[in-house]
Chains A and B, each alone.
Chain A
């Protein structure tokens, strides 16, 4: 394994037994638990930004004989998405009314030692919200409650039976942009109990605070987890321009025009002399 930088704050949560040793250099060998850290907790988006690759590394303390699985989930800030469906009318492909999906993170990645479905059962993954299929994406504006077969307050979606197609499309389109990913072999053990996983952020990764969860599963049950934080932010001139365009949009627009007119004027001056 490559040399480890000084560990950024690594949170160890849900240790099932009373923690005796507080000194991090002393391994608590008797408790099954996971500990993890990121090589970088701040990703800076500057003019040379072409995406980033961060390594999440950690250790599993496993005193038992039963093997344990590690699942890494990285979740970006929420970014609602509007989707349209194209359909052919009289030979022309037209867009449907857009449907707003909420609860979709702007970035979502899972990485695990085995395919998620082998690690834990459907209900368990659904409860924890782990895995692309278990993201809590919903279109609340399409929901309505009706009375059906004499049962009151049945929640139905106006999208009807195609609802799952829509939901899958959200994930598929984000996957295509590199914003969603699932790597069933992404967590690799490099040494006894030491593992690493790579987090690849594309250029289009949204800025904001990201949460990285590391789950330790044994016999299909989550036994330990750790949570880390990661921020992606624009820095330097990129940040200045972005904030200027957002906070003083009218001044920014006028400046753009002046710059353009000035460039045009300069060019006509320069080339006339030649």
Chain B
């Protein structure tokens, strides 16, 4: 049942990988996210070199997002104009991120930066998500009405140049914030191997205040473009994409995603967010522990030997 991965150069049990793809796909379908943040750490635990894990699972994100975008766009729930601008930023970010990742690997600091990025981003997002959803659940139990939300968008969205109309999102704002958001997520996509949905969604909802119905579809659209770019760049610059590994993952992933999406209707939105918050926070803390726990061996092999 073992299969040898030609790029990762390790032998793994393939049903485990298909199951893992299915499990992460299920989670991604359930919560409407890419699930990359969950996949990369598990692959590393299974013994895949981190650089290969990060690069190969980006294409898993492409697959699960593609089937998502198709179903959202058939309902008209994708703002291609907004998504396109964010994707433009995402491509720039991916270019920067892949070079940054190469440079960090050369310095021997790649694993550290990845751990730190997981701890900070997942820690903060997970905490916020958990706090917000628990408050909402408690309010519903007690029967108190939700406090009035601040409906105003931050003023700086309007002060910046290059204002554009985004009819589907119900926005008339500068193109710079979506571009910058896309670029930031592109960098994370290259370094952490994530799609970045867990950052895109809250920012699009609470900062840009896009129309809620188009948020998920638009973010998925931007994620496809960014992760596709990341995959090509990682393959071209670092030769770290293992097509056998990603095929196994995405085979399980697309099936799992469908089941997850079906089950998601059974839960309330805030319950789902609370569950997701726990998972996100857990992964963040798990990855961050590496920074604080005394390593079993003080020496470690730094991946990547300079060419020649």
The residues of A with any CB-CB pair to B shorter than 8 Å are 45-51, 79-88, 91-98, 100, 165-166, 169, 172-173, 203-204, 234, 237-239, 241-242, 245-246, 249-250, 252-257, 259-261, 263-268, 271-272
Contact A82 B301 (CB under 8 A): yes
Asked if residues B63 and A263 are in contact (CB atoms below 8 Å), the reply is: yes
14 contacts between A and B (CB under 8 A): A50-B11, A81-B305, A82-B108, A83-B299, A86-B295, A93-B291, A169-B299, A173-B300, A239-B6, A245-B243, A256-B59, A256-B241, A260-B60, A260-B66
A263 to B65, alpha carbons, bound, how many Å? 11
Digit string of B90-125 for contact with A (CB within 8 Å is 1, else 0)? 000000000000000011110110000000000000
- Taking A169-B297, A204-B9 as contacts, is the C-beta distance between A260 and B250 under 8 angstroms? yes
- Say how far B29's CB is from chain A's closest CB, in angstroms: 10
Q: Is the CB of A267 within 8 A of B257?
A: yes
Contact call A82/B70, Cβ cutoff below 8 A: no
Given contacts A83-B300, A93-B291, A173-B299, contact A253 B305 (CB under 8 A): no
How many residues belonging to B are interface residues under a CB distance threshold of 8 Å?
62
Please report the C-alpha to C-alpha distance between residue A250 and residue B237 in the assembled complex, in whole angstroms.
8
Give Cα distance in the complex from A10 to B210, angstroms: 75
Q: How far is the CA of A45 from the CA of B8 in the complex (A)?
A: 13
A85 to B300, CA, bound (A): 6
User: B243 contacts A242, CB within 8 Å?
Assistant: no
Contact status B292-A253, CB under 8 Å: no
Asked whether, in the complex, the Cβ of B241 is within 8 Å of the Cβ of A245, the reply is yes
Residues of B in contact with A (beta carbons under 8 Å apart): 2-4, 6-7, 9-11, 59-60, 62-68, 70-71, 106-109, 111-112, 224, 228, 231-237, 239, 241, 243-244, 246-247, 250-251, 254-255, 257-258, 290-295, 297-306
B246 contacts A260, CB within 8 Å?
yes
Partner of B7, one of A165, A242, A271: A242
Residues of B near A46 (CB, < 8 A) are 4
A182 to B305, CA, bound (A): 26
Q: A49-B4, A173-B300 are in contact. List 18 more A-B contacts (CB 8 A).
A: A82-B305, A84-B302, A86-B300, A87-B298, A91-B292, A93-B293, A98-B108, A234-B6, A250-B232, A253-B234, A253-B235, A256-B235, A256-B243, A257-B231, A261-B66, A264-B64, A264-B67, A265-B67
Would you call B2 and A252 a contact (CB within 8 A)?
no
B295 to chain A, nearest CB (A): 5
Q: Which residues of A sit under 8 angstroms from B302, Cβ to Cβ?
A: 82-84, 95, 98
Most buried by A among B63, B241, B251, B290: B63
For the complex of A and B, list the 6 residue pairs with the smallest distance between their C-beta atoms, beginning with the closest.
A253-B235, A264-B66, A98-B108, A267-B254, A169-B299, A253-B232
Inside 8 A of B305's CB, which chain A residues have their CB? 79-82, 100
What is the distance, in angstroms, from A179's C-beta to the closest C-beta of chain B?
Answer: 11
Q: How far is the CA of A172 from the CA of B300 in the complex (A)?
A: 10
C-alpha gap A47/B302 in the complex (Å):
27
Chain A residues lying within 8 Å of B250, measured Cβ to Cβ, are 260, 263-264
A162 to B243: give the CA distance in the assembly, Å.
41
Check B254–A85 contact: CB distance below 8 A: no
Whole-angstrom distance from the CB of B97 to the nearest CB of chain A? 15
**Residue in chain B with minimal CB distance to A80:** B305
Contact A249 B11 (CB under 8 A): no
Assembly CA distance A239 to B111 (angstroms): 29
A95: B residues at CB distance < 8 A: 108-109, 111-112, 300, 302
Cross-chain contact of B112 among A47, A88, A94, A172 (Cβ < 8 A): A94
Give the complex CA separation of A267 and B65 in angstroms.
11
Chain B nearest CB, measured from A80 CB (Å): 5
Checking A49, A88, A250, A264 against B254 with a beta-carbon cut-off of 8 angstroms, the contacting residue is: A264
Given A93-B291, A256-B243, residue A263 in contact with residue B300 (CB < 8 A): no
Q: A51-B11, A253-B231, A267-B254 are in contact. Are A97 and B108 (CB under 8 A)?
A: yes
Which residues does chain B contribute within 8 Å of A242, judged by CB atoms?
Answer: 6-7
Contact flag A173-B59 (CB < 8 Å), given A84-B302, A204-B9, A268-B67: no
